Amino acid sequence: MMDLATLRKEFPVLEEKVNGKPLVYLDNAATTQKPRCVIEAMSDYYLHHNANVHRGVHTLSQKATDMFENVRAKVRDYLCASKSSEIIYTRGTTEGLNLLAETLTQSMNEGDEILLTESEHHSNIVPWQIAAQKRRLLIKVIPIDDNGELQIDKLESLINKRTKILSLAQVSNSLGVVHPLDKIIPLARSLGEKDLRIIVDGAQGIVHSKVDVKKMDCDFYCFSAHKLYAPMGIGIVYGREEILSTLPPYQGGGEMIESVDFDKTTFNVPPYRFEAGTPSVADVIGLGAALDFLNALDLDEVFAHEQEILNYAQEGLKSIKGVRVYAEKASKAGCLSFNVENVHPFDVGTLLDQLGVAIRTGHHCAQPVMKHFNIPGTARASFALYTTKEEIDILLSSLGRVIPMLSR
């Protein structure tokens, strides 16, 4: 079994106090904390190897380039992709989805369709809306039911020969609902044309499950490193090589070119075609250290622990009078959304913070979900490999103090 006490010592921030109380960090869906090895790897890069990559023949640049590209290979292996050339560095899931929305829709025709879901993060809605408006495309939406689950039976009526893109989250960031991609993707393939592109937003899924993009049969998979115990400011787009090679550049500048003349510019091969400018090398190094950290653990044990914590927290929340847990009966990973009857979630989060408990409140960049449930937002507690049952007990006991104060 995991030695949680020892594991937690690898995360220095967990020893902090907030408002005089030991920090209980339950906002991991927003960002995970970073293990010491990640912080040290980034520091070591700046202390001993700092140089621009792919630019110089000098030793520092060559070393930095090797480190940078070695991480690309680690990501390839972590996603079970075929080639390192299928791994694109971005600033995060949001930039990755913007990149895909811009490049994939350039070849679409007026009236072609994009299929999203009602449970998406704004980052998987707004880029497609911008592209659709620019190119006169149509957006359709797979609805959710009152348990937060996708109504998969609607797919047959939503997918047709003009459906060119299906983009959906692996796990809902607002409700924690795990979408059954093993059912959705094969069904979408059977209903759609050969040119249907399937994109998976893995921002919340990558940290709570093993990912094999080939078995998943997606065309693209995006995630943010900071959800995976790595730094902010770096993310990944996996894309099938045969599709990436047909896509136009997303941004112009250094690195993404083959040759430049005022008469004509030719572009580099993927993934470099999509990586204009100086990258965030230290953050990439941090991502590599985070992957090493995770690969040293028994991930099946980690995921089982996280599920045990989630179930324990859900049962505890359900036992508190006046608390409603959303998507209670759905298969979930990583987080729980709840509300206290007749109390705004912001007030719940503010008072819990005074007791050292950090949760997220609001619409979680998923306003269509909140509209579905006719609420302004929720309180969201989200968990990680270092979350303990004792922390859940503190959350529950703190709610027991907070609710009477807010219900007067």
Catalytic residue list: 365
Q: Provide the pairing of β-strand 220-224 with 235-239.
A: antiparallel
Nearest Cα residue to 161 out of 185, 137, 192, 132 = 192
In whole angstroms, what is the distance from residue 206 CA to residue 92 CA? 13
CA dihedral 209, 213, 215, 216 (to 10 degrees): 70
In whole angstroms, what is the distance from residue 71 CA to residue 77 CA? 10
What the block records as the tokens of 113 is: 């369709």
Nearest Cα residue to 26 out of 389, 402, 324 = 389
Distance of CA 128 to the CA centre of its chain: 17
What the block records as the tokens of 62 is: 């060559």
The residue with tokens 């959906």 is: 168
In whole angstroms, what is the distance from residue 21 CA to residue 26 CA? 14
Tell me how crowded residue 75 is: count the other CB atoms within 10 A of its CB: 22
Count how many residues are written for the chain. Answer: 408
Q: Which residues of 13-34 are buried (b: 16+ CB within 10 A; e: fewer)?
A: ebeeeeeeeebbbbbbbbbbbb
In whole angstroms, what is the distance from residue 395 CA to residue 75 CA? 35
Q: Are 115 and 167 in contact (CB under 8 A)?
A: yes
In whole angstroms, what is the distance from residue 237 CA to residue 223 CA? 7
In whole angstroms, what is the distance from residue 2 CA to residue 288 CA? 22
- C-alpha distances (whole Å) from 32 to each of 11, 176, 203, 236, 386 are 10, 15, 12, 17, 10
